[in-house]
Chains A and B, each alone.
Chain A
Amino acid sequence: MAIEISDISKQFGKTQVLRGIDLSIMDRELVALLGPSGSGKTTLLRIIAGLEWPDAGQLVVAGEDWMQLGAKDRRIGFVFQSYALFPHMTVRENLAFGLTVRPKAQRPSAAQITSRVDELLTLLQIDTLGERYPAQLSGGQRQRVALGRALAIEPRVLLLDEPFGALDAAIRRDLRRWLREVHERTGSTTIFVTHDQEEAFELADRVVVMEQGRIAQIGTADQIHDHPATPFVARFMGAVIELPVTLRAGRAELKGVDTSALPRRPLGDGPATLFLAPDQVALEADPASPFLVTAVSSTGKLLRVTLEAPGLPVVDLDLPRLQARGVAVGQNFRLRPLAGAVFSAPRSASPAGLIEMTPVKENIA
């Protein structure tokens, strides 16, 4: 089902949680809502589910106005972060719930429900757990039951709130792959909320990055990573080193930084900020550079190198240990960014928020 969200706003008390969200999601698409806590992603998901109502805006799904439809009648599958399984029902009863509450005329026969539950147990790979109660299951198994319960009603849209938040890393990876398979097999339009960018990029067709109730950027993993739309997105993607530079003829200039690997930008001359990821900068020995190595520590695979220059923020780089053999405390190095983003703006952001300061942006691949 294609989903059209237009100009949705929502306020909780005095907090503006969503500020005019516009978003189109295609039929059968798998979309991630990515953002830090408080960015409004869960609220947006709950509005699509009908568990929350916007103050203003439109929500149209497959041509139908969902603002006229309650959660009960939207036929969505919603998976809660805490699973919200019914503790007094067995796994089978949990899975069958959505079918057994249907009005008599639409309710499948008992035999049909049983076979549907059998099908789901197989799909969920928990065939042997049907008679157990939720308290007797592991976290990963509960997650599967929660998803199965949502899938049982053949939802038109599948919504998941931090689906893997409470699970450990190995199980997360496993379930991610499996969720992708389930999505492809059922062909439902799927939206999930996460604060984990790896999860978002690995699983989703498109990622929607949210910040303070607005959409900061929509794109694929590569688009967002290589062309962050705003300083916020750049930072959120891990470009946490911010250096004040001067733009001249489309190139960022700063003493001790060799930006020749970065393409020129169609940006006006003047002050700007260069955003760099700690693992995308090379070091070249240069006694004339103001960047002085003040600390080196090894994490095994990587070497964390701390550089300081007068008047500049401290720079922490993560270099592959084998490439950084010669780096030692007390030496001067030139920074050679392999990738980075430049935003022409004063470094001190306006109080209105960083998002407003970036009408012009430039990217480096």
Chain B
Amino acid sequence: MSIAHHKESRLVPRLLIGLAVALTLLMVVAPLAFIFWSAFSRGWNVYVSNILHPVTLHAIWLTTLVALIVVPLNVAFGVAAAWAVARFKFPGRGLVLTAIEIPFSVSPIIAGICYLLLYGRQGLLGPWLMEHEMQVLFALPGIVLVTMFVTSPFVAREVLPLMQAQGSEQEQAAVTLGANGWQIFRRVTLPNIRWALLYGAVLCTARAVGEFGGVSVVSGNIRGQTNTLPLHVELLFNDLNAVGAFAAASTLTVIALVALVVKSVLESRRHQA
């Protein structure tokens, strides 16, 4: 009886672990492997020519550009928002806390449509923008705005709990020692939040690079002009160019994998610190 019980207690964990591994292989690893397998299905030369196709290169460049604009802005926004909420009591503080979370709960497509309604030709600001010859939609500004909206919570969400837990005594100590605001931020606040900040920035980057829904509404999908990588993948796929689509997707996958590695490294550093 006791032996049977012993056997059972080893069987259950093994079954569960086996199930988890099988599901992970089936749902995560297999599609990933399939991307690369398909991308290279016609050989290395076809893969390289697909990647080096000017339209694909432009999509890579545009996606990088959007991330380069969005991530620093959202790092600044995230730190400022976290600082304000963690350090000060002001009317509307609860509202700010909720507002930071909104992009997480709103579908990116809804965000895109909102921008469309706001900046579009028939939109609220459309006529004014037309008058001043500023193009927001179907151009870089629109893509940047939507991506910023979608990725804005990442940094604030990582930094805020840490700042709240640490309290403001170190900063107060720095003030009494004669430090000015910038010195306090650079020498006391920033070193304390650096790992959380980097971690948030990596998450923000990964999301900004991969954003599809919101951008697809506002970009207009103009080949070689407003086509980001995720949109380009869809476009190639719709063109029945499966190999090209998978080649483009492979670049996105590599970016995601790099982000994942950086994220886990940062996570371990953070727990040591």
Contact = CB atoms under 8 A, between A and B. Distances in A.
B175 to A, nearest CB: 5
**Which of B170, B173, B187: most chain A Cβ within 10 A?**
B173
A51 B173 CA distance: 9
The main secondary structure of chain B at its interface with chain A is helix
B91 interface: no
Contacts of A185: none
Contacts of B183: 101
A49 B179 CA distance: 14
Contacts of B191: 86, 88
A2 B178 CA distance: 21
Interface in A56-115: 70-78, 80, 82, 84-88, 97-98, 101-102
A237 B41 CA distance: 88
Interface in B161-178: 169-170, 172-178
The bracket for how many chain A residues form the interface is 20 to 34
A314 to B, nearest CB: 44
A240 interface: no
Contacts of A71: 172, 175-176
Contacts of B180: 72, 101
Contact of B170 (A49, A51, A70, A84): A84
B192 interface: yes
A25 interface: no
Contact of B178 (A80, A82, A88, A102): A102
A191 to B, nearest CB: 14
A88 B170 CA distance: 11
A76 B176 contact: yes
Contacts of A152: 177
Given A101-B183, A101-B187, A84 B178 contact: no
A77 B187 contact: no
B170 A86 contact: yes
A227 interface: no
B169 A153 contact: no
A214 interface: no
B113 interface: no
A149 interface: yes
Contact of A149 (B169, B177, B187, B188): B177
A80 B169 contact: yes
A90 to B, nearest CB: 13
A76 B175 CA distance: 10
B41 to A, nearest CB: 51
Nearest to B184: A101
A101 B174 contact: yes
Interface of B: 169-170, 172-180, 183, 187-188, 191-192
20 contacts: A49-B176, A50-B175, A51-B176, A71-B176, A72-B175, A72-B180, A74-B176, A77-B176, A78-B176, A80-B172, A82-B169, A84-B170, A86-B174, A86-B187, A97-B174, A97-B177, A101-B174, A101-B183, A150-B176, A153-B178
Given A71-B176, A153-B178, 16 more contacts: A49-B176, A51-B175, A51-B176, A71-B172, A71-B175, A72-B180, A75-B178, A78-B172, A84-B173, A85-B173, A86-B188, A86-B191, A97-B177, A97-B187, A98-B178, A101-B179
